Amino acid sequence: MTPEYIKNLLTAVKSGDTSVEAATEQLSQLPFEDVGCAHIDHHRELRQGMPEVIFGEGKTVGQIVKIMTAMAAKGSNILVTRLSADKVGELATQFPLAKYHEDARCLTLEQVPAKPDGKGTILVVSAGTSDIPVAAEALVTALFLGNNVEHVSDIGVAGIHRLLARREQLASASVIIVVAGMEGALPSVVGGLVRKPVIAVPTSVGYGASFGGIAALLGMLNSCAAGVTVVNIDNGFGAACAANLINRV
């Protein structure tokens, strides 16, 4: 229910084309009419090129095909996250233009080429080899949302010189996503080196007292580097969404 719609309705009332009662009825529904609100949201999404995202975990191939088909028909770009490799075959058959990013466990279907219109570069830094899938999810997502991205991997706090050597690259990013498991100390060190927004992503990498990522999560929440914020364990997608918004402030 856009302002135009309201203005038209009122004009019709004034001209007598619509009765006061009929208009009252329509307008009194306003607080409950989500259609209008949804329209506005829809417009904004189209306007911003925000593509559609499907959380693939726990969905059957059939369900995903159904949702993708509906979306594709609207000409939308589509991102499917947490898509295990065994589901890709049928999707590839149905959507030959879709691309599967194995490391990231993501599938993308770009019908309209994404323009990297974010202000700067989103830099993803990951600690160990096992953290790469989460980093890759962040990279694919950030790229898909229209950002330039860079990746630096295998940068752990126990070999601090590898990080120091990247100081300039860190300083030149507009936002930094730091992905780390185990003790999750990397965001603190990165946050202490450069004055850029740092989004920390704890991963479930580790064993024993890592408790599936709790150790890393707590470490990041208690970071002594002010300016570090945290997302859920293994949530590379969410970190990229936040970085995307920050990259457009």
Residues 97-126 touching a copy of itself, rule: CB under 8 A, are 119-120
With CB under 8 A as the contact rule, which of the stretches 72-80, 85-93, 107-115, 159-167 interacts with a copy of itself? 159-167
Is position 235 an interface residue for a copy of itself (rule: CB under 8 A)? Answer: yes
**Three-state secondary structure of 3-52:** HHHHHHHHHHHHHCCCCHHHHHHHHHCHHHCHHHHHHHHHHHHHHHCCCE
Q: What's the CA gap between 35 and 242, in Å, rounded?
A: 27
Which of 143, 175, 178, 179 lies at the binding interface for a copy of itself (CB under 8 A)?
175
Q: Please give the size of the binding site for a copy of itself, defined by CB under 8 A.
A: 108
Question: Which of the residues 33 through 72 are near a copy of itself (CB under 8 A)?
Answer: 33-38, 41, 44, 48, 50, 53, 57-59, 63
Output the six-digit token pair for 13.
């009332």
For the segment 181-200, give every residue that binds a copy of itself (CB under 8 A). Answer: 182-185, 188-189, 191-193, 195-197, 199
Interhelix angle for 3-15 vs 20-28, to 10°? 160
* Whole-Å CA distances, 28 to 20, 31, 40: 12, 7, 19
Only one residue has tokens 């850029």, namely 196
Distances (CA, A) of 19 to 16, 25, 33: 6, 10, 20
Q: Does 161 bind a copy of itself (CB under 8 A)?
A: yes
Residue 230 in the binding site for a copy of itself (CB under 8 A): yes
Residue 151 as a binder of a copy of itself (CB under 8 A): the answer is no
Beta pairing class for 78-81 and 99-101: unpaired
Residue number with CB closer to a copy of itself (89 or 227)? 227
Residue 221 binds a copy of itself (CB under 8 A): yes
Torsions phi, psi of 107, nearest 5?
A: -120, 135
Q: How far is the CB of 32 from a copy of itself (least distance, A)?
A: 4
Q: Using the rule CB under 8 A, which residue among 98, 143, 228, 236 binds a copy of itself?
A: 228
CA distances from 248 to 83, 103, 125, 138, 228 (A): 28, 27, 20, 17, 18
Per CB under 8 A, the list member of 138, 142, 178, 241 interacting with a copy of itself is 241
Name the segment binding a copy of itself (CB under 8 A); options: 29-37, 72-80, 88-96, 102-110.
29-37
Judged by CB, which is closer to a copy of itself: 104, or 241? 241
Map tokens 């991102």 to a residue: 79
